[in-house]
Structure formats: C-alpha cells, structure tokens
Chain A
Amino acid sequence: METRPLPALSAPARTALRLWLLLATGSLAVAGLLALLLALSRTPGVSALLPWGPDFFHRGLVTHVVFSFQVWFLAMLGALAVATTDTGWRALPVAAGIGAAALLVPTVAGWGEASLNNYVPVLDHPLFHAGLAVVAGAVAVAGLAAIRSGDAGTGAAAASLWAALACFGLAAALLPAGTDRPLFNERLFWGGGHVLQFTNTLLLLIGWHMLARSAFGRPPLPPLLTRAVYASVAVFAVAAPLLYRLDVLGLPHRQAFTHLLWYGLPLPPLVMGAGAAWLLLTGRPDWSRPAPLALALSLAVFGLGGGAGFFLGVADTRTPSHYHAVIGGVNLALMGVIHVHLLPALGRGAPGGRLARAQFLLYGGGQLLHAAGFYLAGMAGVARKTAGAEQGLDSVVKLASMAVVGLGGAIAVVGGVLFVVQVLARLLRRREGIHA
C-alpha cells in the first residue's frame, strides 16, 4: 500500500515516537545553537571571548551540518517508521540519542581534524565516526519494521537507508590503508552520501503525500502510481552498491554516483509534485491551515533547488544554493507532517493560528531568498565554503547577492526557531492530551 493513514498508536509506540521526535527537533535545536556560535566566532571582538580556538569555525560547521541534515532526517525516518507501523522499540531512539550525544564530545573537546568532505562532513576522530554509525544503525533497525509491514513509503525509505549503509561499508572495506585522510573521508561518504539523498527524497514524497491527504482529503496520486513512484526511488538506491565495482579512488566512481542522482532523482518528485501542485491549483486550499501552506512552500523551495541542481558550477555557491533549497523543501514537508500528523498522533495538539502560519512562511520565504542569493553569487564567481575576505566580494553583484543570502538566512532562522520552540514545548510536556 502507499503511505497509509497513521494507525492509533499503542502506548509503547507513542513513547518511541515521542523520543524520535525529541531527537529530531532536538538535533535542529543543537544545529541552531551551533549556527549561532559559528556566527559569534566570526564576529570581531566577540570571537576572542569564546573558549574555543580559531579552528572552531570548521569544527562547529561540521557538527552543525551533521545535526541539521543527517541526524534530523534520520530521526524523522525513525519517527515515521514508528508512526506508520505502531512499533514500540524504545531502545532504538535512545541508542540514536546516545550516538548523537557522542558526536558532540569531539566537537566540544576539540578532538579530530575537521574534514569538510561532501554529504557527511566529519571530525576525523573514531568517536565521531562511531556516533554517526550508531545513529544511522538505530534508524536502519527501526526501518526494518517499515519494510516488513509493506508500507510502501517508509519501507522504500528504510530500504534505501540500508543501501546507503551497504555503500559506506563497501567503501570502508575497499579504501586502501594509508589513504590521505581528506580523500579517505571524501570517498568513504561519497557513495553512501549520494544514496542518502534517495532516502531524503522519499521522506519528502511521504511528506507531500501525507500533507495533501490532510489538506484535500485525498493523496496527490492514485495508489498504484504512488507505489510506483516510491519504488522508482528505491530501485536506484538499492542498485547503488553495484557501482563499487568501479575503483573506489577513481574518477569514474565519483562521477557514477553523481549520474545516479541525475538519472534517478528527478522523475519521482516531478510526478508526485505535479499531482500535489494540481491539487493546490484546483482544490481550493484553506491557507489558514498548516497542511496546504507547508505543501505549497515545500513544492516551491524544492522546485527551485531541484532546478538549480542541473545548472551547477564546479566549486561555487550554486552548489549550496541547490542543496540548501532541496533540503529546505524536505524540511518544510517534514515540519508540516509533524504539525499535522505526528503531534496529534501523540495527543499533544498542534500549534495553530498565526504563529503556525508564520513559521512556515518565514522559513519557506527565507529559504527561497537564501537559495536565490547563493545561486546569483555563484554565477558571479563566489567560491563555496569560504567566508570573509576569502570570498572575494569584489563586485556589486557579488556583494548584493551575498546580502540576499544573509537576509534570507536570517528570515529562515526566525521561522526555524519558532518551529523548534513550539514543537519542543509540546513534546516536553509530561502529559498528553493538551491541545493548543
């Protein structure tokens, strides 16, 4: 079946779901705190007051990315697996939480060099790698229930996570001992990191499906086509480990995974996105409700990022434009699912009214500006992953577009903070059944 309506949850499943959601939104809170510290570490006068050394920028950046991207998405897969299958494996979110806490130790203690490799940047320390493995492993085990239940959406997402883990394992086994550490980390996470994008895309599609059903009383696509769309994503993910037949250190290996995304990722969101857009255009959405708002903004932001993905440079800010927007699109869908489905499933009500609308509008609008600014800056030649004088903002276009990046980012942060505070406040309440 396609992603089915959520069942009434047993008490153990409600506990497990609450723990997964605490990890998911808690990871966003940690990421936000780190983002604030990153900004302070770059502020003249303030940076000297921080207890960390000058290399904190890169260390904090690594952990910020891991919490705001990997931990958040993986924990949401854990939450959706519990919510769709009514399984109460409480030990798994606890284990994942311990893994996430382990990521913070090297960050604060200053252990390991920062490695800004693609997809899963790391602090090059065994505890950091172990923390990542525990988080991903716990979610993968939680996903087994989804695969076994036959729920097409979460089952496909869990299967693609297992494929990503297989890629990480193959890379670890095949990389020669003594490989230069930056290259080692790049190639260790390259293949599996690409496959995780299939998992994240499935989370997006599940989100669109659930939001459309809530907003319009029907899903964006009929049942068989929905299953085919989910299967289409999963097929590419599951085939990915075969690419390890190519030399893991070679250029064809690297390029093959890029092409895997180009061939495998565009069609499914295009098909389901078209169905969701048609509902939004013809279904007279009630914009005062979070479901259609989150759905529309998610479609717009993800569409911008997806389009940008076909017109990237080699190492300029068009790349962060692409990934900020596609991640923003997935975030909006998941934020909507939490509001519309998961908090009510816990009997913890969903914040409503202006505040709920504001968080989606601010986050979505801010992400649109942020990504558009990055794209224009990249076209003007601003290099990615640089800051300060290193950016070389020597023209009006570069300066103006990076100003738009900053403005959009600030607006999105306000929306993100509103979301995290509202959701955490409801999750941390001791008793269920209190509605906003």
Chain B
Amino acid sequence: MRDRLAAALMIAATLALLAALPGWRMTDAPPPDAFAEAPDDFLARAEAFAARHATGDEAGGMPVVAPPPGDVPVVARRFQFWPALVLRTGTAYRLHVASVDSVHTLAIDGHEYLLVPGQTRVIELTPRVAGPLPLQCGEYCGLGHNGMRGAVTARDGGAPPAAR
C-alpha cells in the first residue's frame, strides 16, 4: 500500500514538473531592441566610433575606448568582443552589439542575447559597481570560443577620460 502511494506521488510529481516546464520562458530576459544592419556597415560604424573615442591605450591587442553616455557599437566576431571599453558607473549606455561573421551570443548581467549577422541588438547597460564587467559568448563558435570574452571595465562615475 505504501509502495503504491509512493509510486503515485512520484508519478504525480513527474507530471507536475513536466507541466511546469513551459513556464521557464516566463522568466526569460526581455527581448532587446534590434534592427537590421549589414555587417560591413556596422563594422565601419564601430571602427569610426572607436577611432573617435579611443584613449590611446591597448588591452588584449584591442584599442581601449572610453565612450560618452549613449550608443556604443560593439563588434562580435571570432573570438572577441571589440573594442575594449572603459565605462563609468551610474552612466546609462546603449550597447549596439552585432556579429560580423557567424552566430554568437552575448552573455551579460545574467541574460543572454543571440547575435546573428545582419541584425544589431541594442542592450541597455548602466554599470553599478566599479571593476571588470563579465561579458562573453555563450554559443559554441569554434575552438577559441571559451576565450571570447569582452574586455569591459567600469570605473567610478564622473566625466569619461579624455579621448583622442
């Protein structure tokens, strides 16, 4: 009798879990804004932006860029997020992130966003604490995938360092 009751409870728990499975989407990240943009056009925009706001320093072979508040283009490609960024805490940025080669994702702040070439994702970001800001690709994209991490640092708020 006990065995029968335990088995019935086990089956009931299994069916309840199975029924609850579709609920996971309720807790998914809100869909970010996105717009169509050709990879070459996006790359040109990102390079021009980086040239305008580069600090003159380098990090991991990339130029360090200290952008003003607002739109900040970030290129995703094997196996980097380009350029390196220095952001200010308490300042609102809108990262424009797009892949220029294959499918990647951007995992940031507990959420993950799919990056498909030809589509630019807009992600709101306001750093709260100073320090490195973890940001990486979460979709296997080749042997260097695990090293595809962003070089983004938040510094205490105030005016961004002088750009060139």
Contact = CB atoms under 8 A, between A and B. Distances in A.
Interface of A: 58, 114-118, 180, 182-183, 185-186, 221-225, 227-229, 231-232, 235-236, 239, 249-252, 254-256, 259-260, 263-264, 267, 271, 314-315, 383-386, 390
B114 A118 contact: no
Interface string B1-43: 0111011101101110110110011001000000000000000
Nearest to A181: B142
A222 B18 contact: no
Nearest to A180: B102
A267 B17 contact: yes
A116 B140 contact: yes
A228 B11 contact: yes
Interface string B96-112: 00000011010100001
Given A186-B139, A252-B28, A255-B24, A386 B146 contact: yes
A61 to B, nearest CB: 10
Contacts of B149: 315, 383
B6 A259 contact: no
Nearest to A185: B140
Given A229-B10, A390-B147, 19 more contacts: A180-B102, A180-B103, A182-B142, A183-B141, A223-B3, A224-B6, A225-B3, A251-B112, A254-B139, A255-B24, A255-B28, A263-B18, A267-B13, A267-B17, A315-B107, A315-B136, A315-B149, A383-B146, A386-B147
Tell me the dominant secondary structure on chain A's binding face.
Answer: helix
B21 A314 contact: no
Contacts of A114: 143
Contacts, number: 104
Nearest to B116: A249
B94 interface: no
A314 B150 CA distance: 13
Contact of B18 (A116, A117, A239): A239
B102 A231 contact: no
Given A225-B6, A225-B10, A251-B114, A182 B28 contact: no
Contacts of A267: 10, 13-14, 17
Nearest to A236: B18
Contact of B145 (A182, A228, A263): A182
B140 A118 contact: yes
B97 to A, nearest CB: 14
A263 B17 contact: yes
Interface in B107-142: 107, 112-114, 134, 136-142
A259 to B, nearest CB: 4
A224 B17 CA distance: 20
Interface size range on B against A:
35 or more
A222 B2 contact: yes
B4 to A, nearest CB: 6
Given A231-B11, A235-B18, A255-B24, A183 B140 contact: yes
Nearest 5 pairs of A and B residues by beta carbon: A222-B3, A224-B7, A228-B10, A228-B7, A232-B14
A267 B143 CA distance: 35
Give the most central of A115, A232, A260: most B CB within 10 Å.
Answer: A232
Contacts of A227: 7
A34 B136 CA distance: 31
B24 A259 contact: yes
A232 B7 CA distance: 10
B110 to A, nearest CB: 9
A259 B21 contact: yes
Contact of B14 (A118, A225, A235): A235
A353 B60 CA distance: 56
Given A116-B143, A251-B114, A385-B146, A314 B138 contact: yes
A182 B25 contact: no
Contacts of B134: 314
B140 A314 contact: no
A235 B10 CA distance: 12
B147 A231 contact: no
Contacts of B14: 228, 231-232, 235-236, 267
B136 to A, nearest CB: 6
B147 A383 contact: yes
Contacts of B147: 383, 386, 390
Contacts of B103: 180, 183, 249
